A and B are shown apart, each in its own frame.
Chain A
Amino acid sequence: MTPADGDGRAGRAGRFLRENSLGLVFLLGFLATLAGQLLAGRAELNNDLVSEGLPPVGLLAYATSSDFAVDVTENWQSEYLQFFLYIFGTVWLLQRGSPESKEIGRAGTESDREQRTGTHARADSPRWASAPGWRGVLFSRSLGLVMGGIFLLSWLAQSVTGTAAYNEERLRSLEGPVGWGGYVTSADFWSRTLQNWQSELLAVASMAVLSIYLRQRGSPESKPVGAPHSATGVEG
Chain B
Amino acid sequence: MRGRRCGGAAVRAAAVSLALAGLGACGVVEERRNAAGAEAVRFEAARDAGRHALLCAALAPGTRDELEETARSGCPEAIRQAVEEDDLPPAGAVRAVDVWGDRARVVLEGDTLFLSRFPGGWKVTAAGCEPRPDRPYRCGVKGG
Contacts and interface: CB of A to CB of B under 8 A. Distances in A.
A52 to B, nearest CB: 7
A176 interface: yes
Interface stretch (B2-10, B50-58, B67-75, B95-103): B95-103
A188 B116 CA distance: 23
B129 interface: yes
B131 A176 contact: yes
Given A168-B103, A171-B103, A177 B98 contact: yes
Interface string A38-62: 0000000000000011110100000
Contacts of A53: 60-63, 65, 143-144
Contacts, number: 60
A177 B101 CA distance: 12
B142 interface: yes
What's the dominant secondary structure at chain A's contact region? loop
B91 interface: no
Contact of B137 (A164, A165, A175): A175
Q: Which of B100, B125, B144 has the most CB of A within 10 A?
A: B100
Given A55-B117, A67-B101, 18 more contacts: A52-B62, A53-B61, A53-B63, A53-B143, A54-B102, A54-B118, A54-B125, A66-B101, A165-B101, A168-B102, A168-B103, A171-B105, A172-B103, A174-B136, A174-B137, A176-B137, A177-B100, A177-B105
Interface of A: 52-55, 57, 65-67, 164-165, 167-168, 170-177
Interface of B: 60-63, 65, 98, 100-105, 114, 116-119, 125-126, 129, 131, 136-137, 139, 142-144
